[in-house]
Structure 1
Amino acid sequence: MKRIALVVDKNLSLGEQANIVAILSGALSRENEGMYDSETLLDKSGVQHAGIKNSLVVLKSKTAALSKFITQASENEEISSVVFTRNGQALNDKYSEYKELIRNNELENLEPVGIGVYGGEAVIREMTKKFSLLR
């Protein structure tokens, strides 16, 4: 069984956190086709429902712990991870500038504000047990 964990900086506003969760979810699903069922899931009324096949948890972290976790996750070959940064938030609708900024900087210069991780349930639970649920 697989698990998805999204960890965001707890110092951000609720709206910023929600935005990061959406971005990270989309990016992770693009990299991991198995997160969602490829078949359309309709109820008897014909309304389409999300076909997510794995448990998903949204967690919060202090900035320093988040940066440390990002490094740990990026070095773990058992999982898939994707990061979003404060710089990305600031470059709304300027994707070419965002790509250039990311490609020309080290992680610590980009101010990460969230990470999504996907992998085996036991591995993800162990890696994220230090974080609290986002409420």
Structure 2
Amino acid sequence: MSVLPDENKKRFIAVLSKKMELGRSLNVLGHLSVGLSSQLEANESQYVDYEDMDGNLHPNLSHYPFIVLKADNSNKLRKVREEAISRNIKFTDFTSSMTEGGSILQQQRTKEIKEADLEYLGVCIFGDTEVLREFTKKFSLYK
């Protein structure tokens, strides 16, 4: 078994709008997670395999915590996005323009909306725990 870095040094944090119903929240979280993980370099995050007593493999789970928080509204999500940009933190975001139809239609719809008018449904970030806490500590856990 290889030596892993301290699992508390980095983390994934997703902040979701509390105004969404559960099914939509899970869909948004899935899109955010896949999108963010595709941006990470091979050595940036750590993934581990688990093996049960019967020898079955449970592969490729994040060594780092993945925390899900909730935001009251789109503007609070926009601020998380802005902080990520200003601090050069890798992120993904998801807006209401990305919910209906296929990705081509969603891209066209999004392009027709000014950023200030976008309704953010979620933002997902990855980075050093202490840095991320500086601007996410005000959010509560998604329950």
Same fold (TM over 0.5): yes
2:94 aligns to what? Answer: 84
2: CA distance, partners of 1:36 / 1:104: 38
3-state SS in 2 of match to 1:11: coil
- Does 2:55 align with 1:45? yes
The within-5 A match list for 1:48-127 is 48-63=58-73, 64-77=75-88, 79-91=89-101, 94-127=102-135
2:10 aligns to what? Answer: 2
Output the TM-score relative to the length of structure 1.
Answer: 0.84
1:17 aligns to what? Answer: 25
Over residues 62-89 of structure 1, what are the superposed CA-to-partner deviations in whole Å (9 max), with x where a residue is unaligned? 1132222222222221x11110011111
Cα drift, residue 90 of structure 1: 2.0
Q: Is the 8 A contact 1:11 1:62 kept in 2?
A: yes
Structure 1 or 2: larger helix share? 1
Aligned residue pairs total 130
User: Structure 1: which 5+ residue stretches go unaligned?
Assistant: none
Cα drift, residue 42 of structure 1: 5.0
2: CA distance, partners of 1:59 / 1:120: 17
Larger radius of gyration: 2
Output the TM-score relative to the length of structure 2.
Answer: 0.80
Cα drift, residue 101 of structure 1: 3.0
1: CA distance, partners of 2:127 / 2:111: 26
